[in-house]
Amino acid sequence: MFKDYVTPRFGNIDGLKHVNNTVVADWFEMGRNGIFRYFNPNLDLSYENWKLIMVRTEFDFVSQMYYGIDVEIRTYVLKIGNSSFTTGHEAWQNGELKSKGKAVIVHYDFIEKKSKSIPDEIREKLIEHLISEEDIGNE
């Protein structure tokens, strides 16, 4: 599991005085950086070298998050297929699960415009972060 920490900024807060729901997508994307590095160690963002494309994302908002209190972002792997994998994400604040989500990502060749099998050496690294869906939301 990857763990990252963010501090909600004043600009992340909406009129209801809690973290706006649009912010969580950015935090979960940041949480995937460790996985991105498996496919592209230098995080080269050039079109020719980027190897992943997101095909689905979903979020559940469990409870409100607030300004001024750090948020722990947890990222892990839920499923590994031939050319795709599913990441799981959680946002925790004050020891409580506040949001959770999933993203399906495909190993993709942008030049050939087709999916590619996940290389065995990367698959092994992904397996190190594989957890059961029953473990989602557990401290």
pLDDT tens-digit series, residues 41-61: 877 766 677 889 999 999 999
Q: Tell me if 104 is assigned to some domain.
A: yes
Q: Tell me if 139 is assigned to some domain.
A: no
Q: Tell me if 138 is assigned to some domain.
A: no
Domain count, the chain: 1
Q: Tell me if 13 is assigned to some domain.
A: yes
Q: Tell me if 88 is assigned to some domain.
A: yes
Q: Tell me if 79 is assigned to some domain.
A: yes
Nearest-angstrom CA–CA distance, 103 and 105 = 6
pLDDT tens for each residue of the chain, 139 residues long: 999 999 988 887 778 778 878 899 999 999 999 999 899 887 776 667 788 999 999 999 999 999 889 999 999 999 999 999 999 999 999 999 999 999 999 999 888 899 999 999 999 999 999 987 676 656 5
Residue closest to 8 by CA, chosen among 23, 29, 30: 23
Query: What is the percentage of the chain residues whose pLDDT exceeds 90?
Result: 65
pTM: 0.88
Whether residue 77 contacts residue 85, with contact meaning beta carbons closer than 8 Å, is answered with: yes
Range of 62's domain? 2-133
